[in-house]
Copies of this chain bind each other. A is one copy, B any other.
Amino acid sequence: MVTTAGRAPQRGPRRASISDVAQEAGVSLGTVSNVLNRPDRVSPTTRAKVLAAIEHLSFVPNGSARQLRAGTITTVGAILLDIANPFFTEVARGIEDRLAQADHTLMLASSDEDPEREARYLRLFEEHGVLGMLVTPASTDLEPLLELSRRGVGVVLLDRTSPAEELSSVAVDDVAGAAMAVEHLLSLSHRRIAFINGPQSIAQCVDRRAGMVRALEAAGLDPDEAMVEITVSSLNAEGGEAGVTELLAAGTAPSALFCVNDLTALGAMRALRSHGLAIPEDMAVVGYDDVNFASMLMTPLTSVRQPTRQLGEVAADLLLKAAGPGMAAPQRIEFQPELVVRASSGGAR
């Protein structure tokens, strides 16, 4: 009782398979597989024949089949908060570099700070059978990531300190960074400071807020009075513009503004200027990330610098190590940020 199983839908002529190559070369299927994977086990003559057939048929091995059978995994996924943010692209560069060195490849995705998109990519990558993932979580709920890790998928938290023993992370001390930024503003005699922040579902927003509060309190100020917080929905230039508009509409604006990142600061400065306010005279501005154009802006932006590329490199290393033989234990790595003072805060000499 031989039945014909269903066939996959085909675009164009069927792709050549290993057995087509075998037939063309007049050898067995296993031999073709050998020239592909262990060429030294095959006689030069046969190898040449097979190679010719491969060339002739433009044979490209089917990765799904190979992975299904052999579990050969050299792909790593990264899910970043916002791929349009130079900070994250620089991190991605670091990741890619390290991965390429180890002959692995990166598949990149942007969650756009949306937990649902994040979940979609998490699942896609898992189904695809990646070696592991580097993720900048878009949500505070790390449970899905923990489960992933329990299921044997390598997970490294990126730009976010792991709250759990079981998860590796590579991050920068955002609390300290924000505190430095705000201390700087306080040292310039600002006593009420606006803070354009993103949703509290994003760790960076929580931590930078905490840093600000800490600095305010250390200076003997009451955060409820000294901090004017504006929450915007996306951490980019549009968000910054919206934030300033809201801030100015509310009247009695503070004399200084701390922005959760440089992109937001960029938008904020644009809006400030279009409202006729001078930076830093009418409003001092400090950003976060020290992206590459920060120093070149109309008013060079005071910002908090992070070892961006290193962040990516170390995260990739960690993942590779955790997935490799020996299964290294989870590690939490934290870098320290650095304040770069420029004209936008009025604090430059």
The CA-CA distance from A12 to B147 in the complex, in Å, is 13
Contact A128 B128 (CB under 8 A): yes
Query: Would A129 and B63 be within 8 Å (CB), given that A13-B152, A151-B15 are in contact?
Result: yes
Q: Which of A3-11, A158-166, A202-210, A213-221 lies at the interface?
A: A3-11
Residue numbers in B under 8 Å from A92 (CB-CB) = 83-84, 110
Q: Is A249 an interface residue, CB under 8 A from the partner?
A: no
The CA-CA distance from A79 to B330 in the complex, in Å, is 32
Residue numbers in B under 8 Å from A71 (CB-CB) = 8-10
Contact B93 A84 (CB under 8 A): yes
Contact A67 B70 (CB under 8 A): no
Q: Is A335 an interface residue, CB under 8 A from the partner?
A: no
Query: Would A84 and B86 be within 8 Å (CB), given that A129-B64, A296-B266 are in contact?
Result: yes
Q: Is A223 an interface residue, CB under 8 A from the partner?
A: no
Contact B110 A109 (CB under 8 A): no
A109 in complex: contacting residue of B9, B93, B107, CB < 8 Å:
B107
The CA-CA distance from A117 to B297 in the complex, in Å, is 33
Q: Which residue of B lies closest to A83 (CB)?
A: B89
Contact B69 A83 (CB under 8 A): no
| Seed contacts A11-B323, A84-B89, A128-B128; 16 additional CB < 8 Å A-B pairs | A15-B151, A15-B152, A60-B151, A64-B129, A65-B68, A75-B124, A83-B89, A84-B86, A92-B110, A107-B107, A107-B108, A108-B108, A108-B110, A266-B292, A296-B297, A296-B298
Contact A12 B152 (CB under 8 A): yes
Residue numbers in B under 8 Å from A66 (CB-CB) = 127
Give chain B nearest CB distance to A21 CB in angstroms: 14
Contact A90 B96 (CB under 8 A): no
